[in-house]
Amino acid sequence: MLSEFELIARYFACPRPGTVRNAALGVGDDCALLAPAPGMNLAISTDMLVEGRHFFAGADPTKLGHKCLAVNLSDLAAMGARPLAFTLALALPEARAEWLAPFADGLLRLADVHQCELIGGDTTKGPLTICITVFGELAPTQALRRDAAQVGDDIWISGSLGDARLALAGHRQELALDAATQLRADSRMHTPTPRVALGQALRGIAHAAIDISDGLAGDLAHILQRSRCGATLELDALPAGTALQNQSREVRRLFTLAGGDDYELCFTAPAERRPAVLAAAQSAATAVTRVGIIESSTGLRLLDQHGNAVDLQPVTFDHFTTP
């Protein structure tokens, strides 16, 4: 059995070859020291993942390592920030190398992709819980804030939606999925791609942005509330994930609109910036789809492809009210 300090030293305190060093002081002292470039803001976000709540007991540790950093990087992306560093607070039932090695590998491989340095954390015994805080930087005027949507803005979505919710439906046996579909949907659920490059490319182009973790309808509602406006979405324009594409229209609509765990960006931008949005998407090698428009009348309206209103009451995931 490893001691606490052996565990930290072996898995988390040893920069791998080629790892960036963004911090002035990393793991090993009482605090890490970060020095953002002069005049820049630090963007800070925390997300916690609890076994049995956010992931199944016995989840693949490599994928879990990826996902717990990915969901945090997704928040930086939604702000338009460049990742700098992160801390890792870990509660573990036991210190097992068979779990720690692949977990650290999944985590640090994604960290290296985004040049985000692990600079500290805390390690304790307890029910498996992973809490990450990410630090990014961006110029003060460039943040993609939730309160910045303007009437007339287009609403855009990156990538595709609904596959993670489909994976859950398969596991819960709400839907009968063939093995290949389940596998494809699972990979979207377990290894989401944070849209870090797109978020940064949209600075100076997009007005407001949010990452979709609880479902598009609920997350877009945060933009609408904070920006004091409303929106109309074209329901059948919502980009369905590849696994979801063969499902019924009803399932596609429901899971793209209110699936959750997508980690795509929803953002708004002026109609005259459409070419700039498309160029940003291309530079970030990320597909984007225009799905609606910001309006002055509050609330969310849904239209089908013929322009007829659709009455669908999406439920947004909430840890305390969702059964």
DSSP letter for 240, please.
B
| Choices 25-33, 168-176, 220-228, 273-281; region in contact with ligand ADP by CB under 6 A | 25-33
Whole-number Å distance between alpha carbons of 130 and 239? 31
Q: Residue 123 binds which entry of Mg ion, ligand ADP, none, with Cβ cut-offs from 5 to 8 Å by kind? A: ligand ADP
Phi-psi region of 80 (alpha: psi -120 to 50; beta: other; left: phi over 0): left
Toward ligand ADP, which CB reaches closer, 90 or 291?
A: 90
Per DSSP bridges, beta strands 288-295 and 154-158 are: antiparallel
Map the footprint of ligand ADP across residues 31-50, applying CB under 6 A: none
List, in sequence order, every residue forming a beta bridge with 211; answer none if it has no partner: 265
Toward ligand ADP, which CB reaches closer, 65 or 170?
A: 65
Q: Does 92 bind ligand ADP (CB under 6 A)?
A: no
CB of 6 to ligand ADP, least distance (A): 12
| Choices 6-14, 60-68, 262-270, 292-300; region in contact with ligand ADP by CB under 6 A | 6-14
Q: Does 3 bind ligand ADP (CB under 6 A)?
A: no
Side-chain half-sphere exposure of 199, counting CA atoms within 13 A: 31
**Within 10 A of 320 (CB to CB), how many other CB atoms are there?**
4
Look-up of token digits 């490059």: 197
Toward ligand ADP, which CB reaches closer, 34 or 310?
A: 34
Q: Does 6 bind ligand ADP (CB under 6 A)?
A: no
Binder of ligand ADP out of 94, 122, 147, 174 (CB under 6 A): 122
Q: Does 90 bind ligand ADP (CB under 6 A)?
A: yes
Q: Does 30 bind ligand ADP (CB under 6 A)?
A: yes
Angle at 120 between CA 110 and CA 115, to 5 degrees: 30
Toward Mg ion, which CB reaches closer, 32 or 233?
A: 32
Q: Residue 30 binds which entry of Mg ion, ligand ADP, none, with Cβ cut-offs from 5 to 8 Å by kind? A: ligand ADP
- Tokens standing for residue 99: 């779990």
Q: Residue 90 binds which entry of ligand ADP, Mg ion, none, with Cβ cut-offs from 5 to 8 Å by kind? A: ligand ADP
Give the number of residues in contact with ligand ADP, rule: CB under 6 A.
14
Whole-number Å distance between alpha carbons of 229 and 152? 10
Residues that bind Mg ion (CB under 5 A): 122
Are 69 and 182 in contact, with CB atoms under 8 Å apart? no
DSSP letter for 317, please.
P
Give 112-136 as a DSSP string: HHTT-EEEEEEEEESS-EEEEEEEE
135 alpha carbon, distance to own chain's centre: 15
| Choices 56-64, 117-125, 173-181, 262-270; region in contact with ligand ADP by CB under 6 A | 117-125
CB of 3 to ligand ADP, least distance (A): 11
- Give residues in contact with ligand ADP (CB under 6 A): 8, 12-13, 27-30, 88, 90, 118, 120-123
